[in-house]
Amino acid sequence: MHLADILFTQGFGTRRVCAGLIEQGLVGVYRDGSVQADVAYAQSAPDLQTEGLRFQVQGVDWAYHARAYVLLNKPAGYECSHKPGAWPSVYTLLPSALRLRPNKNAIQGVQAVGRLDQDTTGALLLSDDGQFIHRLSSPKHHVPKLYQVICKHPVDATQVAKLLDGVVLDDSPKPVRAAACAQTGELALDLTLTEGKYHQVKRMLAAVGNRVEGLHRARIGSLDLGGLPSGQWRWLSAPELAMLHTGQVAQG
């Protein structure tokens, strides 16, 4: 594949823009184990193999990914929308190449796998793979998500039991149950859900007579944030992606 076409697939602009970046010497390619990106090679390179390809665009290092699968540690004060209302978009935390990756659908770039409220923090997956997004978002696949909840009022055993037995929400004829629930402090819970209804954690806590004061998604299946700082993102590793694709993530 020609380098300009490769840059285009990675979201660095139209093919004409990408060709211009190469001609202006703003793109370098790492090759043969080199620690320095070679601009001259990028300008004269024939078709390139994409596997393991690394390059640099205007000083930014990049590795080729046929599909984008990333994990973001969402901070509070951001909306999971391309057209946010009162708060900035979570997509502004990502580099423009991820936001502009070409897509067959009407919307460009990566999309959030489900949403977190603007005041909720923690693990958020994003991808440009529609099947991946659908599978991990669908309640049919029962992907568990662990939330760390800070409550307004003290938590008691009765509330924990009700959350496990199921509570009725106004938009669900069937009781909504927590897959797991454990009190971790006087005002704190670890709550695991396999669905993603609107404001679900907040409404479930309200249904048992409490109120959410702080909410953090710590894990999606067996995938956690590790040491990823708030507001930062990273590519999923090959083993992590393999777990997500094979469904092992649902064992978390």
CA distances from residue 203 to 55, 167, 192, 193 in whole angstroms, order as listed: 47, 9, 14, 13
Q: Which helix (H) or strand (E) holds 165?
A: helix 157-165
What is the rounded distance in angstroms from the CA atom of residue 245 to the CA atom of residue 243? 6
Instruction: Decide: 164 and 209 in contact? Cβ < 8 Å.
Output: no
CA distances from residue 69 to 206, 216, 244, 245 in whole angstroms, order as listed: 34, 21, 10, 11
What is the rounded distance in angstroms from the CA atom of residue 197 to the CA atom of residue 200? 5
| AA identity, residue 232 | Q
C-beta neighbour count of 217 within 10 angstroms = 22
Residue 208, both tokens: 């048992």
32 has catalytic annotation: no
The one catalytic residue in 117, 119, 190, 224 is: 117
Catalytic (active-site) positions:
117
